Every structure is written in structure tokens, then in C-alpha cells.
Structure 1
């Protein structure tokens, strides 16, 4: 901005240097030491001193050094302040305070429907460690993410935000599955400062309630209870809007919001904080004008103070998620600049907000919300720069309000168009699709939410103990229900969510980015319309998009913890073998890992799903996968296939030894089971398949035991060596006999097992047997998802997701997880 300069360098450039240094340090594959940082800074400083214009570069260097140092210190602190690996899986008795709203989760069974096991998920802060007495790893103030399985009704009623407990817990080091296009759970925990995850484990020690809570956390819980009581149908939606609590949303509501491109309406972000700030800015200005008539109070100052306090209070009431913190910083910068009455350049305000957000959380840029927020704001700043108001609107004589209304509507349409255009690529990269209907539906839904839902909800919450407050809550629920009905109608009439893969190469991605920027430039600039030409190749999937990664045959063993999910792909066909587990908390590998991977790879239509057998670690994620990406065919063993067929699933068939199936240029030879009347639930009922593609052989074995292995060896003598073997039963000692290993002669083997799981897979004796035959050993626990790619010839290229990930996957105490 004009006048804001340090020497000859603008403050905007200094803030950008500071922010880029933070991002650069965070994206390094490994954290450098402070000595490395100091040596680099000294070398840069020496080179700057030799330059003639050193006064211009010195402030930039110092800003970059400050940003890099802060990022390095913060990131190293975050890595070091996690439960040590030596205590992973240990039991503790802790006095804790519940600091989040507990989230009730109901466990679905394998093929849909509700199960009997309910659980509560919540965050708690450690007050003190009681047992073991010498547990120096856990100190006061540590944040834990806990799950309480099979909790009874009395305990569930007492477990409230703000309450204090003595809990027996089993803790684990923060860790998550690592898969392409999947949610980075471990990074999310790191950004939140979570010390350990775990679950309540009654045994020798029993949970004991100490005291009911007070303060903000308890207030949030009371408000949630009141909202759910006043509006049973839409109380969960109201709670999401007011408190940031999305745990009570039904799957139908989540699906509707996602498919209509309106999920952001319930995610506390810049939209909500900005609406709250604008509402209270208007109220503060009206009050300021009234008060100022008698006391001389400046209307502007009172309005800004009221808006600042209201936006802060709303952020705290919503639980202060990172998205709301970002929005609060950007809102405060705007409000203070407005009160300051200085003409602050938009670029300076944008860079200041960016620097403040990264100072608060140097790893914030790893979250999708960071990019969505700043790209949307940047698009508005760029899109409206240099554009004049509609002259014809102000020329309407005798109806100036009509002209102003037309101007406002035009600005709303333009703003929505700019945001939709700018967020198209991020939507493909992060969500593997876009909603064409979202542009139109948001034009109605955003002002509807801002004018008729959020204001009465806020004032109703302030006066919730009065009849007026109850009436306002009822009105907000009524309007919210009408808005959801409107979205349902829009979904049925307009084209909803479209699954689209991200541009298949960095060249196409860069081309699309250039096209978006050109289209956002002010009208009248030469070459602006050429943006459509740059956008054309990524937008038209039928145009050739050469990408060598898509050619050939790919097999990906996904990292689903203690379970199995394998994706086999050619450019024309996709087959999924098993869908991973479902947990007692309701988490499903099918919906959270397998489906996002397929969508991210651009698989709009899934061809075949094979459920090897009915165990929950193989079939548990099937219901979640079916809901997200229904397959054309389902194959399962024996009577399990019949049960699936009775569930109205399309194209269900059974696997039986000796049958051959061909999918494009991929051939499946079923080796087991030999009887179609097996239940399909036992390990030895597993569908065993030999997959062949142009001489490449992949053996999928499910959970078969040595008994079945011996029968396979006898039934198929002279079996040719396989290129890849998915190890039977995760490497259990009951499988992988020496006879079977000599029969298969695998070149590569992969153990799909959980990290330090209590089953202890893979067993050391099994590992030793595979090593003796010279096979290359891989483990999803150590490598994350592993992908083998065959193109020409039989030598595959191998990619490990954990190796290609951010620095916390390879920290010094987290990089050697399985020793072969």
C-alpha cells in the first residue's frame, strides 16, 4: 500500500517473504536442524552484503529468516510433543477434562443397517497422571483424542463438555493411514496439537466422574442440548451452524450438501464469521448513531468494536477450528483497516492476513480449507479490481432503489462466478469433482442463510432462556428446513455433483491455472478471453491427456490398518479386492480410504468389487464403498454372495475354483473355494484369485490358512512364479507355510497389517520364510499405500505413499516401523 515501505521494500513484499519462508520450511521432506538454518542464513546474508543494492534485499532476507526460524521451531516442537513410541499401546489412569462436544457414533454392520455398538468420541486435556506414578511422558495440559466404546446410558449422560473424569485409557502415538487422495489424519492431529489418541479401557481401573464442568465448553454443550430439544428435525444442522458440531448430521444431509456444492454452508469459515461481523457491524453502527446523539460516541468506532467482539465470540462458541481462526484474522484485518480510515491496498491486507494465519499455525497450508479460503478471497480481489459499477442501473430515473438492487444482484452474481471459477481446480484436487448446480444454488442459499437463518439463530441463542429466544430458534429451524427442501428440489432439477479426476499432468494443471487467472483479470485487458483456451483441455475429458502413469497395469495395496483393500487398474477397468475394515467408532475404510482413492484417480464407474470373505477387516468397509461408488458387479464366496443378491445389489456372483473371467485385457482365474455352498464367513472360505495381465501374475489370497494352502499346492502343480503376492492373513503364523511360499515363488510380497497391532502381524517366522526365497518385502504399516506399475516388460516401478509424504511421516522416531 502507499506509504507502507521499509527502505525501498514494501511491507507487502516483506510479508510475502515471511509467509513463503514458513511454507518452504513446512514443505521440506525432512526438518533441517537449526545449525543448517543458521549456516544457510549466514551464507545468504554474506551474498546480500556483496550486492550493490543490499538495502532492498536485507529486509526480505530478515523476514524470510524470521519466518523460517519460527516455522522450524514450531514444527519441531509439534513433532517432539507427541506420545513416545516406547509408550505406544500402554495403559494409563489419567485425570482429564473433556474439552470438546462428545460425538455419538453408531456402528453400521458390514452391509448396512445399524449395529448395537455405540461409541462417543471426544477430546480431553490431561490434568494429571495417576497411574503409573512414574509416567513422565504425560504432563498436564496434553491434548488427547479419545473414544469410549460400548458406553452405557448413565455414563453417556454424564460425559459432557467441561466435565472432569478419572479415566483408564490405552494411548497410541498420533498416526493415520497414508493413501493417495486420502485424508491426512496424522497431519490433522499434528496441526491441532494432539499428544496422543486412544480409547477408554475399563479393567482393573474403572472410569469415575468427578465434577460437572463450567465455562465455555459447558455452555456449548448446554446450547447443543437446547437446540436439539427445540428443533428435533433440524437441531443437528442448527448445532453445526452455531457450534461447529457436525457430528449429529445424518448421512442424507451430508450427501445432499455435498452433491449440491453447499457443504461450506455448515463448515464454520469465512462465510459465517464474515456474516456475523457484518450483522453486528450494522447493529453497532445503528446503536452508535443513536448513542452518539447524546454522548458524542463515534458510530464507526462502536460499530467496529461490536463487530470485533461478536466475531471473536462466535469463533470461540464454534470451538475455534482452524478454518474459523483464519476467517477471524482476515475479518479483523478488514475491520481495523476500515476503522483506521486509511486506503489500504488489497494486496497488503491479503498478505497481512496470510502472514498472521501462518504465524498462528505454520502448517495451516496443508489443509484444504486454507487454500479454499485464500483462493476465494484472492479471486474476489482480482475479479473486482478495475471493474466499474453498472452505469445503466444508476440511470433508472425515479427508481434509484431498483438501480441499487440491480447493482447488488449483479455484484452477487459476479462474486459467485469468480469464486466458482477460482475454486474449480481446488475442488478437483481436493474433492475429485465439482457441482455445476452449486453456482446457482449458492446464489440463493448464501443470502438465505445470511439473512433468514443465521441472524435469528444468533439472537435466539443469546436469549434462549426467554420465549422470544425460543421463537427465534423456531424461526431459524423453519427457514433452515425450507432451505434444505429448496436444495433437494435443486438437486433433482439441476446437474448435481460430477465426479472428475484432476488434470492428468502438471502441464494441464498449470494450463488450467493460467486460464483461471486470465479470466479473473479486469475487463478490457488484452488476451483476457484466451483464458478459455487454456481451460479447454482440462475441462474436456474426451480430449487426449497423455499421462504415462495411466498406461499399463497398476496394483495398489491401500493402507487400511489391520485389514485389506487392493485396487487393480488398467486404463479401461478397475477391480477392488476387499474394502478394508470398519471400526467400533463408525469409521469405514470403504468410504474414507477406498472411495477417495478411486475418485482421486478419476474412476467415475467402478467395475468389480470382490469381497474375499465376511470378516469385518475385509468386508467392513463394503457398505461405505457402496454408498460412495456403487460397482457394476460384486463377487463373494458361497452363501455370502446369495445374501448380497437378496440385498438388491446388482450383478452379484460367487467365486469358485476353476472359473475364469476376463475384464478387458485382465484375466481372473479363481483358485478357491471349491464349494459354492460355504457360508463365506470363515477365513478358509476366502476367494483366492490369480490375476494375469500380459504375463504379469498377481495372487490375491484373503485370509486362507495352511490347510487351504496345501490344497492349492496339490491342485495346481507346476504353478508359475507370481510377480506380486498379497500375503495370506496379513502374515499370520497360521498361514504362509514354507510349502506354499516355494509353490508361489513370489518376487514381491506385501503385508497389509496395522501399525503395532496387538495381533503382531506379520509374524517374524513368516517374514523369515519369505526372505529365504529372495522376495522383496513390503508392509503398508511401514510404507503406507504401495503401488506397483507395470508397463512394458515385467519390472515394476514401486511407489510408497509414506516416502512421498510430508516431513512428519519420516521424523527420526517414526520412520522405522517394521523391521524385516
Structure 2
């Protein structure tokens, strides 16, 4: 099974998918080579298992790529009959700086029943999954848009696609793993949406249970829903922040604790029923309890949405139940490898998800850390052990288990979440038993008896205990060191060394060389080490892929500067916290020297709060009165950018070219801070969203302006900017457009692209290349890296033509 699983992972990790014919030729060559070897009897099973895993992974991944909306139909309009396939997630709209608005949107998944109309596009096959958003919904829509409801909806659909940035969340891969055919939004202005009724089913039952939990426990109902149903959409920002900072977010994962409790509860219930039957029939059906437990765990896993952690727990629980029924001893490693193989069979791309490593990493650490551990002594010694000694042994085992899990999850936490919580190990010593004894059992029993008075009482008790647990975590956050923002080990070599260190420390005590693992863990625990090794002079400019917005990172051995923070969506998603900060941390930059917010437009300044919270800047520049709005504390230096001023930022020289006036709001495009950054003769021009009017004034103010090596195209390449005279004035060698993929603004405009091409400038666009990094090792030596040119196979399956 290990060979089968490793083949699935290896095939899914390839930069491009081979054909099935290529795999068959490779299989024939390997088979021929093995048949002439003396150990072929042992090697043939491994070969066949590996080929089975590789073949299944290859076929599945090719199917996943083919079952997506064609790029030719990207942005097409449809009228579809659909059924809501998820619990709708209501999201309040926010302004660019996090202030709540009075409007809301609903995000939900839906299955296509039939295509009613398609405007200049192919019909969508029935059964395909869509991720949809309904903006500015009214109360009537909120009431009727429920799990299992059927609708006739006018929608505009898009090819599943996301921003591609180093160290960022792979939204495109997440959609591919879930089998999403297209994303899009409802367009009521095209046609009146029509509610067609509700259809009974599992999704409707989940929605009804969520409503009951919110009704019976209004204070903690959203948390109870997350614990029981895996639905985290109702959690508040404060609840999410608390769980993350205390290292207890994993408590909401539907895992072995949940599935094991369900199995135990129904195993006891089945055993009781079997004994009752035995009283009347004279024979007790031993299999009844196991069958009931198997069915109950499967039903609960489906009710919880079948997340990856629950699937792993389900398989391992079933293995234990079958072994118990047939009185066979099962090695824990067998159950672990079997669950790994089955999870990867169901979803060969599951290993790209954080939950895969968190779930299997925690269980694997416990199995490895406690392997071969036996208590020495005679049975009589065990019998004479007093209660204090037993409690001490139990406490030591519990402490060790938490230490093993915390150690195993350190690297996944740094890789996926850019930090870890030192307090998590101690708080989990209390939180896990509390949840497993006082919250989950009454919650599960209450859900089973939800229509009765006893069920309501159980849910109320679970909510009360959960509220006490949350208060305990809030107290722990104040006393203990909470979330520490750190990046992953720098580079693949650092990551491999850190992984080896974790593996050594997880080994059972007493093995030689085990404590050497601490040496390999120094890089992630001391994040200043990667930066300290960068002695080679260089300038690295990364234009991040933030969609329709802008975020540029400039880095030298002595300076870390960010120009603009990307957009913030109406639902609260922030490019600052989700793209810019993870990139900085992943590149070994836990601190930020300089942050420039060019102007107050949402697509440039929207991510400010999210970025400043995770990576606080030492100094901030913004135009006019916007600088005062961005002041977040007395320790932060906030200044206005003003034409003519110059700043020496380590080995960078920054010259402000615009604006001339400080008495302005800083909100308009023409208020943008225009900066010329120089490093060893390399000149980078950052122009914000200026229009032709400002371009003309720049030409007049700086008539002898020298050519620039890199220009970030003004206003994303809008036709209101980048005039022919401006291009002749700047004479850029390279130009980068930061724009959304096939956005309705149409950036960059074809005429603008043509003007830059006529000036012999090299052009890049984040919409087609992902994040773009330009590196100067010295004057004239430029190398360019495109995020979509490296990474998983689905980045390359675009068929797009670049400049």
C-alpha cells in the first residue's frame, strides 16, 4: 500500500501530466528490467502497486482537468436549473478598511440539473459542481436559499482560476481538488431568479440541524455547527483569531475524536440491542453492534461533509471495528497505510491540502513516537501500583502525546499558515479532554435526539461547556505566548533539513542521534538565519498576482519595501493577509522596513490592515491625509510622500516624483505616490494609478529623466494612462502589468500594449504569468521568474498566449 500511495503522490507532483501511452511504455520497460533480476518475486508486487497508483492518479487528474469550463466560455452567461449542494455562507460586506456595510452576499455550491439557456457557449453537463456568489441578497432570498433548495438562476460563469503566488493559498488547486466545474455569480438584472422548491436529502438535513443549533444555542451555535457539521461559515473573526492564536483550530476538524465517539456510542447501543434480542431468541447477534457502528460512522461522516480528516478517521475506525469483531490483532501501521491509500484513491490530489498533512501527520507522529514502548516489570508490580503513580504515568503519556503532535505539525503550520502557537501544546492538554468529555458527547447525543426535550437540554449543556472552554482559551491567550508569525524554512534544502530534524525527534527515546534533530530545526525556529545568509548584492522585485490590484515587493540584503497592499473584497478577504504577508514570511521576511500605499483605492490600499497585522511595517508612506488614516500606533512612523523628497533606505535610494501637494485626500488616482527606486544604477519606476494628466506634468517637471529598467504600468495598463509621450519619457526596458484575468475593465488595453511593444519594451502580465519576479545581481544581469511556469501541472494547462 505504501508503494501505491507514493506513486499517486509522485504522479500528482509532476510539473506536467504524461499520457497514458507514456505510462504504459514505462511500465513495459520496468517490467522487462525486473523480470531479469534475481529478486523479481519481491519486486513485482511493488511494481504492480506503483503502476496501479500512477495509472489511477494520471487518469483521475486528466479527467479533473477536462471537466472544467472551457476558457472560450469564460465570462459567458447562462440560465441554469440548479440544486444547492452546500450550506450557504452569508457574508457581510466591508469597506476597504474593514468597516461593515449594510449589504451582504451569499456564497454557495450548486449542482447543475439542466441548462435552460446558454449565450454563445456550450451547454453545461448535468451534475457539474459550481461555486456561486449572490451579491446584495434580500431577506426573502436569504430565507429560501437553503441546502437542498432548487432554483432557476441567471449566472455568469468563469473558468476555475486563482492567483498564483509563492507561499500563497492555491485557490485554483483547491477548486480542482473539489471538482468545481466553474465559478461565477448570480445576475438578477438579466432575469428574475426563480425558487423551485426544496428537495429532501442530506444537505437539507444538514441545514435544518444548523438552524436548530443556532436556535438552541444562539451564543455558540456557530461553533457547535462547526464541531458537528464541519460548517465554519458562521464563525466570527474573533473566534477564528482566538483558535488560531491558541493553536486550537484543529479542534473544529471532524477527526478521530468525533468518529471514535460515534463508533463507541453506537457500538454500545448495538450491543444493548443485541442482548435484548438474545433474551427473546436465545442467541445474541454479535455482529449487530459492529454493523450499527459501521453504518453510524459512515452516516456521520457524510453528515459532516466528509472532510479529509473524517475520511481518514472513518477508515481507521472501520479497520479497528472489523478486527474487534473477528478477534484479530491489527498493527496500527496497517490501519494507517490503508487509510492513506483509500483517502488518496478517493482524491489523488488530497496531498496538496493542509488538512492532509495535519491529519496524517498527527496520527503518524503518535504511532512513531509510541512505537516499541513497553512498560518493564512483572504483572504483580503493575497490580501494586498506587493511584498516584498511575495518574503520573497517564499524565506523562498525555504530555508526550501533545508534544509529539505539536512537533509533527510545526512544519505544516509554518508552510500553510505562516506561524505557530507555542501555547498550543499546554492549552491542548486541557482543551482536548474538555472537548472530548464535556462538549462532543452531549452534542452528538443532542443531535441524535434533537427533536426532543432531552436533545435540547444536551445541546444547551454542550454550548455552556463550549462557552467555558472559549473563556479558558481567552485567558490562556493573555497569559501564555500566543501565535508567533514565522515563515517556513528558506528553500527546499532548509525544508528538507527541518523535516529530517522533526523525524529524528519523533523517534522513540533512546535511539542514537535522536537529539541531533534540534540542530536541523534551528532555521525555522530562528527566522533571521535565512536573511543573514544573503550577502550577495542583489535587487529582487516581485509583482504579486493579486488579481485586479497591485502589490509589489522590493528586496535587497539591507531593505524590504512593499508598494501597495492589493485589494480587499466586500466579504472581507484581504490580499494583504492572504497573499502579501504569506509571501514575505515564506521568503524569510518576518519584518517589513517600508510600506508605501500609493493611494486610497480599494485595489491598492484594501489589504493594508491585513498586512500590517501579520507583518507590521517600521515606516509607512501615503499621499496627503491618507497617511493619517493609516496610522495604527505610536510605534509606527507614517509620513506623506511629496515630490522632490528623497529617502535613503539602506542600499536603496527612493525619490518621490509625485504628488506635489500634501493638502489632498489621497483617495484619487492622480494623488498616487509615484516613486523612483534606485539600486546600483538599476532604476524602478512605481507609478500607481496616475493618468495622462499627471504623466504630462512628470515630463515637464523632470525633462532629463533617464531610462528606467522596470516600469510598473500606470493604472494596470488602462487606456487613460501610458501615453506615447510618457513611454518615450520613461523609456522602460521592462514593463509589468498587474491586472485581473479577463477582468471586465479589460486591462491592459490593447492600444497600450501596442505602444509599449513599439518602444521595444519586454512585457509581462500577472493575469497570465502569475507572480513575476525580476532579479538583478548587478548592472545589466537580469533574470525573470514566472510563478505559473513552475509549480503543479494545472498551472500550465491554460492554452493562453502571452505577449
TM-score by length of 1: 0.93
- Confirm or deny: 8 A CA contact 1:809 1:815 kept in the other structure: no
> Quick one: distance in 2 between partners of 1:208 and 1:661?
60
The C-alpha deviation readout for 1:379-436, integer Å capped at 9, x for no partner, is: 1111111112376998587775555444433322221111112222222222222111
1:194 is aligned to 2:180: yes
Q: Does residue 122 of structure 1 match 2:105?
A: no
The reply on whether 1:567 has 2:521 as its aligned counterpart is: no
Alignment of 1:506-521 (within 5 A): 506-521=492-507
Match of 2:166 among 174, 177, 180: 180
- Structure 1 residues 545 and 592: CA distance shift in structure 2, 3 A: closer
Q: Equivalent residue for 1:503?
A: 489
Aligned to 1:443: 429
1:310 to 273, 291, 296: 296
Tell me, in whole angstroms, the C-alpha distance in 2 between the residues paired with 1:175 and 1:707.
Answer: 35
Q: Does 1:600 align with 2:583?
A: no
Q: Does 1:819 align with 2:794?
A: no
CA contact (8 A) 1:504 1:546 kept: no
SS in structure 2 at match of 1:796: strand
SS at structure 2 position matched to 1:789: strand
Which stretch of structure 1 is more off in the superposition, 524-533 or 564-573? 524-533
Q: Identify the residue that residue 207 of structure 1 maps to in structure 2.
A: 193
**Other-structure match for 1:4:** none
Q: Does 1:230 align with 2:213?
A: no
Alignment match, 2:600: 614
Report whether the alignment pairs 1:272 with 2:258: yes
Deviation, structure 1 residue 19: 1.4
Q: State which drifts further: 742-751 or 322-331.
A: 322-331
Instruction: Say which SS state the counterpart of residue 802 (structure 1) adopts.
Output: helix
Q: Secondary structure at the match of 2:603?
A: helix
Q: What is residue 531 of structure 1 aligned with on the other side?
A: 517
Q: Which residue of 2 aligns with 1:674?
A: 660
1:54 Cα shift? Answer: 2.2
Q: Which segment is superposed worse, 448-457 or 616-625?
A: 616-625
Ranges in structure 1 where 5+ consecutive residues have no aligned partner: 1-14
Whether the 8 Å CA contact 2:576–2:611 is kept in 1: the answer is yes
User: Contact 1:499 / 1:602 at 8 angstroms: preserved in 2?
Assistant: no
Bigger shift: 278-287 or 373-382? 278-287
Pick the aligned partner of 2:629 from 618, 640, 643. Answer: 643
Cα deviation 1:689-716 (Å, max 9, x = unaligned): 1112222211111111111111111111
**2:340 is the counterpart of 1:354:** yes
Q: How far apart in 2 are the matches of 1:108 and 1:143? A: 28
What is the CA-CA distance between 1:548 and the residue it aligns to? Answer: 5.2
Give, in angstroms, the shift of residue 122 of structure 1: 0.2
Q: Deviation string for 1:480-514 (max 9, x for gaps)?
A: 01111111111111111112222224333333323
1:452 offset after TM fit, Å?
Answer: 0.6
Counterpart-to-counterpart distance in 2, 1:389 and 1:143 = 53
Paired residues of 2:537 and 2:778 also in contact (CA < 8 A): no
Which residue of 2 is the match for residue 387 of structure 1?
373
Structure 1 residue 265: deviation in Å? 0.7
Q: CA offset at residue 653 of structure 1?
A: 1.9
Partner of 1:85: 71
- Is contact 2:547–2:739 with CA below 8 Å preserved after alignment? yes
Equivalent residue, structure 1, for 2:443:
457
Which of 742, 749, 766 matches 1:780? 766
Deviates more, 1:252-261 or 1:368-377: 368-377
Q: Given that residues 286 and 299 in structure 1 are in contact (C-alpha distance below 8 angstroms), is that contact kept between their aligned partners in structure 2?
A: no
Equivalent in the alignment of 2:89: 103
Partner Cα distance (1:624, 1:540) in 2: 24
Match of 1:48 in 2: 34
> Is 1:634 matched with 2:634?
no
| 1:363-393: CA deviation from partner (whole Å, max 9, x where unpaired) | 1111111122222222111111111237699
- Equivalent residue for 1:170, pick from 156, 165, 168: 156
Q: 1:616 to 1:133 in 2, by over 3 A?
A: closer
Q: Distance in 2 between matches of 1:549 and 1:804?
A: 26
Structure 1 residue 793, shift from structure 2 partner: 3.4
Residue 615 of structure 1 deviates from its aligned partner by: 1.5
Q: CA deviation at 1:119?
A: 0.3
Q: In structure 1, what is the Cα distance between the partners aligned to 2:223 and 2:116? A: 39
Distance in 2 separating the partners of 1:619 and 1:261: 30
Indicate the SS of the match to 1:177.
coil
Deviation at residue 556 of structure 1 after TM alignment: 1.1
Q: Which moved more, 1:621-630 or 1:658-667?
A: 621-630
Q: Are 2:199 and 1:216 aligned?
A: no
Distance 2:38 2:385 in 1: 62
Between the aligned partners of 1:263 and 1:388, the Cα distance in structure 2 is 32
In the alignment, which residue of structure 1 is the partner of 2:686? 700
- Name the CA distance, whole Å, in 2 between partners of 1:525 and 1:646: 51
Q: Which position in structure 2 is the counterpart of 1:65? A: 51
What is the count of residue pairs matched by the alignment? Answer: 803
Could you list the per-position Cα deviations for residues 773-818 of structure 1 after superposition, in whole angstroms to 9, with x for gaps in the alignment?
222111101111111222333423221111111001111xx141x5
**SS at 2:735 equivalent:** strand
- Kindly indicate whether the alpha-carbon contact (under 8 Å) linking 1:93 and 1:166 is maintained by their aligned counterparts in 2: yes
Question: What is the RMSD of the two structures over their aligned residues, measured on CA atoms?
Answer: 2.4
